[in-house]
Amino acid sequence: MEFYLKASLKTSADPAAGKEDIEKIMAEAENTILSKGAPAGEGAKIKSWSLGEKSIDIELTSGRYVRVHDAIMRLKKALAEPLGKAHKIGIRGLEAEVFTISVPADHDLKNKKIPYVKSVDFNDGTLLLTLDVGEAEMRNQVPDRILTLVEDKMEQGDYGAKAEHWNLLWESEDREFRYSEDPTEDMLKQGWLKRGAGRGQWIHGPVTTRLFRVFEQIVVDEILAPLGYDEMIFPKMVMWDIWKHSGHAKGIYPEMYYVCPPKTRDPEYWEDVMDYYKVTHEVPVEMLKEKIGDPIGGMCYAQCPPSWGFFQGETIANESLPITIFDRSGTSHRYESGGIHGIERVDEFHRIELVWLGTQEQVVETTKQLQDRYMHIFNDILDLKWRKAWVTPWFMAQEGIAGVAADEVTGTTDYEAPLPYRGPEGEWLEFQNVSINGEKYPNGFNVKSQSGEKLWSGCSGVGLERWTAVFLAQHGLDPENWPAEVQKRFGKMPKQVKFL
Ligand SMILES: Nc1ncnc2c1ncn2[C@@H]1O[C@H](COS(=O)(=O)NC(=O)[C@@H](N)CO)[C@@H](O)[C@H]1O
Ligand SMILES: [Zn+2]
């Protein structure tokens, strides 16, 4: 990997007068300023330099250390002093005439439209990136981010097919299933729910709503109350700034639902739209496009990120740690893969999101307590066949990164269950997860602890559609066949709306 820069330092007058000083600085630069901070011999190198009428023209190369754009700044600083003092020659600015990065690669880049990259040429195992950057971009590390982006693409194989990591952790003993229908089909037949007007959207009647609330109450009674989780309300319209701090801004775009405000509340401004509708009974979507503002962010996606706004920039007293909170205040929205799925994969879903933060050992301990409670719920109350697997952390997958986290403590445990109607080889369904997210969010949102110890956090998403899909797929729709505790909590079947 090599950086190359052909730059010219613009001077206020002919630099020839300072030739001697310049020569001295150039001669020793590689052993001093251009190698500071680099392992021996790995600093930046001066390939050539010459004096123009009103410029000092320099060619630099470098590897990963003292990259050419940092090197040229150091040279500029070292030259400015003597030229200014002794010869009254000022350095007016810096122009990058040629800036290239060559990266070893086994294939060409699919998407070549990268900001500040003029061209991408692939030949015999090397990608040559030609950049178009100015002093400002060089100062705020744009070339470094371009290199990181390209190296990540090389690593991911550049086609975004994230190799999902999966390691079995635990599996419950087998159960025979007395039901093998598709519960969504059955629920539609029984009128328990109806498809909403939106893509992947459902309207839940009294029965499935009651079931959601029964599951929610089990989580409250068996986990949240005994373990002391406090309920909070996290925002459900998520601003870009939140997703910049959480990392979602790196990759959420294909799957989020965008939110745009009106350009103004002034009714006059909207009169033509309203008139158009009143006359045509069609919503003039084309007209709307001109009248709404830019997207300010999107609908709730991961549910926990906006909670960090509550802690952002704060130092938390030791006595308040570990913090254990949860939110169930609204829906999550994802533009899921096409095709009509049952209630197990929807665009609008209902989740209880648990979040906990504290020192590393507090977070690890809290996670273990949570895992034990879930074990009890799925084995002793919901009577499920299920398993747990160690997978690519959800926050990496949502940033388009595959693999697993650096240490084997940080990561996501997926809870999965078979849906009998999919058959013995059918894909199991992830119905919830538990994650130790390490330092990611306290760092991302600049949250400190009184003791100065690194803060860690974890989160767990309980998907109510998923719990319902798994529970009904395994136990069927007849409450007579449900585990006793669920039957008791469910009570008498709510009266059904009768459609003629
Ligand atoms: N499209 C969907 N339809 C129904 N439930 C979903 C959908 N996407 C996610 N969920 C539920 O939300 C849970 C967590 O989603 S996740 O993306 O895996 N993880 C996160 O977002 C974490 N912030 C924990 O919530 C899933 O296990 C599942 O129960
Ligand atoms: Zn979360």
Among 18-27, 32-41, 160-169, whose mean pLDDT is lowest? 160-169
Q: Phi and psi for 171 in degrees, rounded to 5?
A: -140, 135
403 band by pLDDT with thresholds 50, 70 and 90? confident
Q: Is the CB of 33 under 6 A from ligand 1?
A: no
Q: For 408-418, what is the mean pLDDT?
A: 93
On the CB side of 463, CA atoms within 13 Å amount to 26
**What pLDDT sits at residue 157?**
64
For residues 387 and 371, the answer to whether their CB atoms sit within 8 Å is: no
Helix (H) or strand (E) holding 117: strand 117-123
β-pairing, 230-231 vs 323-327, is parallel
Determine the distance from the C-alpha atom of residue 292 to the mean position of all C-alpha atoms in its chain, rounded to a whole number: 26
* 73 phi, psi to nearest 5 deg: -65, -40
CA atoms within 13 A on the CB side of 411: 20
Q: Is 116 left (phi over 0), alpha (psi -120 to 50) or beta?
A: left
Please state the φ and ψ torsions of residue 279, each to the nearest 5 degrees: -85, -40
**Distance spanning both ends of the chain, measured CA to CA:** 72
Give yes or no for residue 301 CB within 6 A of ligand 1. no
Spatial neighbors of 322 by CB under 8 A, at least 6 apart, are 356, 357, 358, 359, 362, 363, 365, 366
Give the burial class of 182: count Cβ atoms within 10 A of its Cβ; 0-12 exposed, 13-18 middle, 19 or more buried.
Answer: middle
pLDDT in tens, 29-39: 999 999 999 99
CA atoms within 13 A on the CB side of 168: 7
* pLDDT computed for residue 408 by the predictor: 74
Contact between 122 and 108 under an 8 Å Cβ cutoff? The reply is yes
Residue 160 has pLDDT above 50, yes or no: no
CA distances from 251 to 1, 160, 270 (A): 26, 10, 34
pTM of the full predicted structure? 0.89
Contact (Cβ atoms closer than 8 angstroms) between residue 348 and residue 331: yes
How far is 437 from 413, CA to CA, in rounded Å?
11
What was the ipTM of the complex prediction? 0.99
Q: How far is the CA of 461 from the centre of ligand 2 (A)?
A: 6
Structure-token match 């000022």, residue found: 90
Tokens, residue 254: 């294909």
pLDDT averaged over the chain? 95
Q: What percent of the chain has pLDDT over 70?
A: 98
Rounded percentage of the chain residues whose pLDDT exceeds 90 = 89
What pLDDT sits at residue 154? 82
Residues composing the chain = 500
DSSP string, 52-102: ETTEEEEEEEESSSS-HHHHHHHHHHHHHHHHHHHH---EEEEEEEEEEEE
How far, in Å, is the centroid of ligand 1 from the Cα of 186?
A: 24
Residue closest by Cα to atom 12 of ligand 1: 463
Pull the structure tokens for residue 150.
């390209």
Is the pLDDT at 184 greater than 70? The verdict is yes
pLDDT in tens, 311-330: 999 999 999 999 999 999 99
How high is the pLDDT of residue 163? Answer: 57
The answer to whether the CB of 466 falls within 8 A of the CB of 344 is yes
Tens-digit pLDDT profile for residues 171-182: 999 999 999 999
Report the nearest atom of ligand 1 relative to the CA of 336: 1
As annotated, the active-site residues are: 304, 334, 336, 345, 353, 414, 430, 433, 459, 466
Kindly report, residue by residue over 343-394, the tens digit of the pLDDT: 999 999 999 999 999 999 999 999 999 999 999 999 999 999 999 999 888 8
Q: Whose CA is nearest to atom 10 of ligand 1?
A: 463
Kindly give the distance from the C-alpha atom of residue 88 to the centroid of ligand 2, in angstroms, as a whole number: 59
